[in-house]
Amino acid sequence: MQVVAQAQRVPAPSSVGNRWLRDAIGLALIVAAGLAGYWLFPDNLALLTRVIAVALLVLSLDLITGYCGVASLGQASLFGAGAYAAGIACVNGVTEPLTLIVIGAVAGAAAGLLMGTIMLRAHGLAQLVLSIAIVQLFHEAANKASAYTGGSDGLAGLTVSPLFGLFEFDLWGQTAYLFGLALLVVVFVVLKFIVSSPFGMLCRGIKQDPIRIRAMGSFVFPVLLKMFVISGAVAGMGGALAAISTQVVGLDSVSFELSANALVMLVLGGLGSLYGALVGTVIFMGFEHIVSAINPFHWMTMVGALLIAVVLAAPGGLSGVLETITRSARRSKGGRP
Amino acid sequence: MKVSKAILGAAIGALLTGSAMADTIKVGIIGPFSGPFALQGKNFQAGVEAYMALNGKSVKGHDIEVIYRDLPAANPAQSRALAQELVVKEKVQYLGGVYFTPDAMAITPLLKQANTPLVIFNAATSAIMTQSPLVVRTSFTTAQTTSPSGKIATERGVKKVISAVSDYGPGVDAEAAFKKAFEAAGGQVVEAIRMPLNTTDFSPIMQRVRDSGAEAVFAFLPSGPTTLGFVKAYNETGLKQAGIKFFAPGDLTQESDLPALGDGAVGLLTTFHYAVSHDSPENKKFVEAATKAVGGADQLSFPSVGAYDGMHVIYKMIEATDGKQDAQKAVDAVKGLSWTSPRGPVSIDAETRHITENIYLREVVKGPDGKTYNKEIQTFPNQKDPGLATQ
């Protein structure tokens, strides 16, 4: 887990106005990219919706791994908690999509509270192992409780009512995609506020040196636990979005594989940056989709090669590369580094 | 939403004109073509290619094009995305394949809107058929292949059986189907053990089998290393020598696993819908063509025949609709369809749209060339899916 242990590069302090401007541009770029996806790939909206759901999962992982330094290979337990909660609610007659998202968020937050309470008792490698144990337990619980979850057959028969009573979740997936995009943008803005708040800064401080933070008079455990709950809510919303858009919830949504993939995407995009989480998800899933369509039989090799290339060439992730480029550009323009 | 409606219209328009004008009819096949289940996906491909090699690549002047999409493990969200893409972007008229049940469940809600039938080559849970009237299945269900073993056990003088299944959907289905069939035939299941999916050490299980005083063990595990471990433990702990019989559905002794099981598998009794060794001219032709497609005789197993017959159904659908996209008409056309498959005589049940087929009792025996194979020793003709029949 050297990635996690790696010291965080602290960005040069910039004026507050500058930061607002940068975030506004970033947000505009996300919306533009999302809408571009809508216009350019109208035939791939199901995939793009799935990318958004996974992006929420990766964002949630970034909160605890990138900002708090708690590595987790079990983040899918929070995603799955949201997915199953929304799915079970939907099967039992709660079909309003916004309500389902809220249910997913609450379930995810509750799972985050539980997971945080357990994981934060340990440190380092033991913590990582605990996270794997937790996701396996969640997986087994979902498998065992097949009366409620459908077990390995999946929870089917979700019929989501139209959004605002107008827009149906249909085959072409436009409603699901735009709904997902709006959700992602709202979550992103909220998370931006959270990570740049004093609470967010405290989390970063804990990541860099928990002992010093403790010496300064702050409690570490409740701060991290709070972040776990927030992270759970975000992952839970991702799970609920996946449940709404695919109308089925499978055991894969609480799998170790999904958790590991989320971590891979995060590392690919760059830890400790919300943009990195998004970039990593889009690049990873897009690449995976393209190569698996070109060669459905041997595409995994190419994905492996990409990951090795990125880790060797850009250990800070893709957003790290972007940052280096912009910084050197600024320097060449004569600006302060 | 005005603009999106326009796109919607354009998409529908493209869909309609695309299918009416084009001489090429596209068939989208979703299966596990990479990862741990790649061999099963390869068998899908072998079945499809064998059918097209033997029956031509066009129906009534419409060329058939097959598009493969990879789904390495059970992943309903991905499954839905792939199906949606195949329908909307690739404009396939037929969907086929699907190895895992949850993946099929994720596709069924799309079918009506997509005006596309789904022909399932494998996914073996009864409930899928009730999800959409546009699903046809050419594989089997666990209940269908398991039920005859209840009768067989009593015929062989076994009164008490202990069941040991992996603790997941198909395992629990098999346990229930066996119990029902065996108790109906007058037997008694003395104990039902559910083993965690990733169990590798089976000696404690064997001890429980021995202690239970049962005369036979009924087992269901996913194919692969777990089955291997279970059969090994059965031999090595002396249960086989003690005369405790072994019954299982044929998933456990599928042909591609037999080389790994080795001599230890000899004498195992399994019930299944297809054995590569099935003696018929249709099967000889099929095995020859499919072996060529899969790349080795050892790798051929049951998903290939599901795919082969699935393609037969799709060809019949294309024939009936003359290349026009009409899912309901296509499905109606194959209801009650019967033909001689490589596995024997089969038909599509008009009511359930699931295949009616012979189930065979097979014994693993050693051939003259020293290789083990499944030898069919008893036939249970025209078995329907008991899981669907009771609903």
ipTM value of the model? 0.70
Whether A205 and A65 have beta carbons less than 8 Å apart is answered as: no
* Long-range contacts (CB closer than 8 Å, 24 or more residues apart) made by A309-314: A310/A268, A311/A267
Q: Measure A97 CA to nearest chain B CA, in Å.
A: 17
pLDDT tier at A5 (50, 70, 90 boundaries)? very low
B80/A152 touch (CB, cutoff 8 Å), yes or no:
no
Q: Which helix (H) or strand (E) holds B360?
A: strand B355-366
In the stretch 53-82 of chain A, residues with CB closer than 8 A to chain B read 53
B76/A252 touch (CB, cutoff 8 Å), yes or no:
yes
User: Residue A248 has what pLDDT?
Assistant: 83
- Considering only CB atoms, A171 lies closest to which of B4, B77, B113, namely B113
Contacts with B106 from chain A: Cβ below 8 Å:
154, 156, 246-248, 250
Q: Measure B39 CA to nearest chain A CA, in Å.
A: 10
> Cα angle at A185 between A182 and A189, to 5 degrees?
140
A250/B109 touch (CB, cutoff 8 Å), yes or no:
no
Pairwise CA distance, residues B160 & B140, whole Å: 27
Q: What HEC string does A272-292 produce?
A: CCHHHHHHHHHHHHHHHHHHH
B106/A242 touch (CB, cutoff 8 Å), yes or no:
no
Residue-wise pLDDT tens digits, A198-211: 999 999 998 888 88
Average pLDDT over residues A286-294: 82
- Considering only CB atoms, A248 lies closest to which of B72, B76, B170, namely B76
Pairwise CA distance, residues B257 & A314, whole Å: 43
CB contact, 8 Å: B219 with chain A? no
Whether A136 and A142 have beta carbons less than 8 Å apart is answered as: no
* Core vs surface per residue B104-130: b (16+ CB within 10 A) or e: bbbbbbbbeebbbbbbbbbbbbbbbbe
pLDDT tier at A26 (50, 70, 90 boundaries)? confident
Distances from the Cα of B165 to the Cα of A145, B170, B232, angstroms? 17, 9, 16
- Considering only CB atoms, A172 lies closest to which of B8, B80, B127, namely B8
Q: Do the strands B245-249 and B188-195 form a parallel or antiparallel pair, or are they unpaired?
A: unpaired
Residue-wise pLDDT tens digits, B177-194: 899 889 988 888 999 999
A153/B127 touch (CB, cutoff 8 Å), yes or no:
yes
The torsion angles phi and psi of B380, rounded to 5 degrees, stand at -110, 100
A47/B101 touch (CB, cutoff 8 Å), yes or no:
no
Q: Measure A251 CA to nearest chain B CA, in Å.
A: 8
CB contact, 8 Å: A93 with chain B? no
CB contact, 8 Å: B354 with chain A? no
User: Residue B390 has what pLDDT?
Assistant: 45
Residue-wise pLDDT tens digits, A131-164: 999 999 999 898 888 788 877 777 877 777 777 8
CB contact, 8 Å: A250 with chain B? yes
Whether A131 and A246 have beta carbons less than 8 Å apart is answered as: no
Enumerate residues 6+ apart whose C-beta is below 8 A from B183: B150, B189
User: Residue A337 has what pLDDT?
Assistant: 44
HSE, side-chain direction, 13 A CA sphere, residue A188: 25
pLDDT tier at A332 (50, 70, 90 boundaries)? low
Residue of A nearest to B194 (CA): A144
Could you tell me if residue A235 is inside a domain?
Answer: yes
User: Residue A53 has what pLDDT?
Assistant: 93
A252/B75 touch (CB, cutoff 8 Å), yes or no:
yes
User: Residue A4 has what pLDDT?
Assistant: 44
Q: Is B122 helix (H, G, I), strand (E, B) or coil?
A: coil
In the stretch 1-20 of chain A, residues with CB closer than 8 A to chain B read none
Whether B126 and B143 have beta carbons less than 8 Å apart is answered as: yes
- What is the C-alpha R_g of chain A? 20
What's the mean pLDDT when you consider all of chain A?
84
Pairwise CA distance, residues B256 & B297, whole Å: 9
Residue of B nearest to A140 (CA): B196
Residue A171 has pLDDT above 80, yes or no: no
Whether A156 and B125 have beta carbons less than 8 Å apart is answered as: no
What fold does the segment set B2-140+279-353 form as a domain?
A: Rossmann fold (3.40.50)
Whether A220 and A206 have beta carbons less than 8 Å apart is answered as: yes
CB contact, 8 Å: B109 with chain A? yes
A172/B168 touch (CB, cutoff 8 Å), yes or no:
no
Pairwise CA distance, residues B344 & B273, whole Å: 9
What does the CA dihedral A117, A120, A126, A129 come to, rounded to 10 degrees?
A: 50
CB contact, 8 Å: A174 with chain B? yes
B77/A167 touch (CB, cutoff 8 Å), yes or no:
no
Contacts with A292 from chain B: Cβ below 8 Å:
34, 69-70
Contacts with A299 from chain B: Cβ below 8 Å:
34, 70
- Considering only CB atoms, A171 lies closest to which of B4, B108, B110, namely B110
Could you tell me if residue A56 is inside a domain?
Answer: yes
A172/B101 touch (CB, cutoff 8 Å), yes or no:
no
Whether B57 and B24 have beta carbons less than 8 Å apart is answered as: no
Question: DSSP secondary-structure letter at A305?
Answer: H
In the stretch 308-337 of chain A, residues with CB closer than 8 A to chain B read none
Could you tell me if residue A198 is inside a domain?
Answer: yes
Could you tell me if residue A150 is inside a domain?
Answer: yes
**Least-confidence region, from A7-21, A239-253, B203-217:** A7-21
pLDDT tier at A57 (50, 70, 90 boundaries)? very high
Q: Do the strands B355-366 and B372-383 form a parallel or antiparallel pair, or are they unpaired?
A: antiparallel
Confidence (pTM): 0.77
Q: Measure A335 CA to nearest chain B CA, in Å.
A: 44
Distances from the Cα of B101 to the Cα of A154, A316, B127, B128, B131, angstroms? 8, 40, 9, 7, 12
Distances from the Cα of A311 to the Cα of A270, A305, A306, angstroms? 10, 10, 9
Beta bridge partners of residue B67, listed in sequence order: B28
Quick one: which of A126, A127, A101, A107 has its CA closest to A116? Answer: A127
* Core vs surface per residue A42-68: b (16+ CB within 10 A) or e: bbbbbbbbbbbbbbbbbbbbbbbbbbb
> Cα angle at B176 between B174 and B182, to 5 degrees?
95
B85/A46 touch (CB, cutoff 8 Å), yes or no:
yes
CB contact, 8 Å: A304 with chain B? no
Whether A225 and A113 have beta carbons less than 8 Å apart is answered as: yes
Average pLDDT over residues A177-188: 92
Select the residue from A51, A153, A181 to test the B interface by mutation, using most B Cβ atoms within 10 A.
A153
Please measure the distance between the N-terminal and C-terminal CA atoms of chain B and give it in whole angstroms. Answer: 42
B70/A156 touch (CB, cutoff 8 Å), yes or no:
no
Could you tell me if residue A294 is inside a domain?
Answer: no
Select the residue from B26, B67, B88 to test the A interface by mutation, using most A Cβ atoms within 10 A.
B88
Beta bridge partners of residue B365, listed in sequence order: B373
User: Residue B4 has what pLDDT?
Assistant: 53
Q: Do the strands B62-70 and B58-59 form a parallel or antiparallel pair, or are they unpaired?
A: antiparallel
- What is the C-alpha R_g of chain B? 22
Contacts with A157 from chain B: Cβ below 8 Å:
131
Contacts with A151 from chain B: Cβ below 8 Å:
168-169, 172
Residue A9 has pLDDT above 70, yes or no: no
Contacts with A257 from chain B: Cβ below 8 Å:
73
Residue of B nearest to A296 (CA): B70
Whether B276 and B300 have beta carbons less than 8 Å apart is answered as: yes
A146/B172 touch (CB, cutoff 8 Å), yes or no:
yes
Size of interface A-B (CB pairs under 8 A): 129
The torsion angles phi and psi of B6, rounded to 5 degrees, stand at -60, -45
Residue A27 has pLDDT above 90, yes or no: no
Residue A313 has pLDDT above 90, yes or no: no
What's the CATH number for B144-272+359-389? Answer: 3.40.50.2300
Residue A25 has pLDDT above 70, yes or no: yes
pLDDT tier at A69 (50, 70, 90 boundaries)? confident
- Considering only CB atoms, A154 lies closest to which of B7, B33, B105, namely B105
Task: State which residues of chain B have pLDDT below 70.
Answer: 1-22, 223-225, 387-391
Residue A213 has pLDDT above 70, yes or no: yes
B34/A299 touch (CB, cutoff 8 Å), yes or no:
yes
DSSP secondary structure, B286-317, as one string:
HHHHHHHHHS-GGG--THHHHHHHHHHHHHHH
Q: B289 exposed, middle or buried (CB, 10 Å; 0-12, 13-18, 19+)?
A: buried
* Core vs surface per residue B166-190: b (16+ CB within 10 A) or e: bbbbbbbbbbbbbbbbbeebebebe
What does the CA dihedral B67, B294, B51, B222 come to, rounded to 10 degrees?
A: -80
The torsion angles phi and psi of B177, rounded to 5 degrees, stand at -65, -40
CB contact, 8 Å: A146 with chain B? yes
CB contact, 8 Å: B30 with chain A? no
Distances from the Cα of A238 to the Cα of A168, A172, A188, angstroms? 19, 20, 12
- Considering only CB atoms, B105 lies closest to which of A43, A156, A166, namely A156
Q: Which domain covers residue A40, as residue numbers?
A: 19-254
What are the boundaries of each domain within chain B?
2-140+279-353, 144-272+359-389
B34/A298 touch (CB, cutoff 8 Å), yes or no:
yes
Looking at the 3D structure of chain A, how many domains does it have? 1
User: Residue A314 has what pLDDT?
Assistant: 76
